[in-house]
A and B are shown apart, each in its own frame.
Chain A
């Protein structure tokens, strides 16, 4: 309405940079610095086999981080992704090993189980107005218990399902380009990332993720059925966790019912390092992917340098605090 201040149309690049991506740029720069640093420190680090090992190590945490990113952008949190992943793996074991159904049904079971669990969490949060932290803490314990009950606390092996371990460990790329045997697990990570990023930035569901995290009351007053969308977002996150369940089961060729606890914190750490705001409204899949990579590179690099594993954990913790502090500093400056 004023003639005095006009927004000059900016280039797409300028807008992306302006849209609060500094933290992502920072995270990416840190990743590059880490890679350069470790490769100078150890000649073994940059070998193709080691790079592939890093990517393989990223795949499960990366997929979980993508799932949590969706929930965190809405202003929520999901503590149940670790044990939910295990629960999905156990259900897959039931379908494939106990019931002896074909591979396809196992894949479907994992994804649907995840979506269902997510929808439950979403319902607790949206309809019953339980804070996400509590609702998903409850889910975390429920799913851990159910995994143990259903499996009788014993691992379920997938020896009778041909091709199951190929889901994570095979390499479709390696068959085409033998010099680049990137495992399928990594391929799946990147596909999940691309699809989720598309959903987040190009669909109604994604739009409401940001809108809910930005100002939920305002979305509600605009006449949007916020409860329904919240449940849908948690369900989508659950489905992605189901994929992580498949990946880890495939890698171990078994569903390990006691596994899972602690994965949720690794995933949240990756999301935070990647610049997604825990208060909601801002965040990106690419950032979380970079965050997960940074964590894997650190662990791997420190191991190559023969640093004790205990210290690797200390370094990861320090990185999280530094990453968030850098983000706070930047935001204080812009305000």
Chain B
């Protein structure tokens, strides 16, 4: 009986731990607005302002280069997809719709995978700090309150 209780207790603790810390992919998906905005900002900001933006997000200076590398990679691949999409926009009818749909899906997948890559590139402390900050930021998106 005591072994059963012990096993049950371990299972409950394990479940609680898993529940407390969802996988990175899940956390990224839940907060994808943040990552899309972050990539877009780093893409448009002049080089001298990028580090200021990362500091604003609370990312330590020694981690900036890692983040900038992933963001640059995303921007480059996204630009390629955009060029493809723009050439497809010149096409007509169903063919255009199918091809555009496929490229848009590819871009969505790229956004998610590079956001995960970015988070993985950070050391554990910075990652947790950023997740905490993202959580605060996400709370600021207005949600309709039902009366």
Indicate whether A and B interact. Answer: no
